[in-house]
Amino acid sequence: MSFLIALFLSLLLILIFVSLRIYSILPTRPSTTPQISILQSSRIVELTPPDNSHALIILGSGGHTAEMFSLLSSISPDILTHRTYIFSSGDIHSAKSAQAFETSLLGKYTKKANEKVGYRLLEIPRARKVRQSWVTTPWSCLMCLVGCMDVLRGRDLAGMSVQMRQCWDKRRFPDVVVCNGPATAVMMVLACYIYKFFGRCSTRIIYVESFARVTTMSLSGKLLLPLAHRFLVQWPQLAEKYPGAEHLGFLVS
- Does an H or E element contain 231, and which? strand 230-233
* pLDDT at 143 (0 to 100): 94
Nearest to 251 by CA among 8, 100, 4, 38: 38
Question: Mind listing the pLDDT tens digit for each residue in 77-90?
Answer: 777 788 999 999 98
* pLDDT at 108 (0 to 100): 63
* pLDDT at 192 (0 to 100): 96
- Tell me the Ramachandran region of residue 131: left when phi exceeds 0, alpha when psi lies from -120 to 50, beta otherwise: left
Q: Where are the domains of the chain?
A: 2-247
Q: Note down pLDDT in tens along the chain; length 253 residues.
A: 787 788 888 888 898 988 888 888 888 755 544 443 333 333 334 444 455 688 999 998 778 888 898 888 877 777 778 899 999 998 899 999 999 988 888 766 654 544 556 788 999 999 888 777 878 888 999 999 999 999 998 888 888 778 778 778 778 899 999 998 888 999 999 999 999 999 998 899 999 998 888 889 999 999 999 999 999 998 889 988 898 888 887 777 6
Name 211's Cβ contacts closer than 8 Å, sequence gap at least 6: 67, 234, 250, 251, 252
* pLDDT at 172 (0 to 100): 84
Q: Read off φ and ψ for residue 21, nearest 5 degrees.
A: -65, -45
Letter for the amino acid at 216? T
Question: Mind listing the pLDDT tens digit for each residue in 194-203?
Answer: 999 999 988 9
pTM across the whole model: 0.84
* pLDDT at 228 (0 to 100): 93
CATH for 2-247 is 3.40.50.2000
* pLDDT at 221 (0 to 100): 92
> Angle at which helices 2-25 and 183-197 pack, to 10 degrees?
120
The alpha-helical segments, DSSP class H, found in the chain are 2-25, 63-72, 92-105, 137-152, 162-169, 183-197, 219-224, 236-241
* pLDDT at 36 (0 to 100): 37
Q: Are 151 and 86 within 8 A, CB to CB?
A: yes
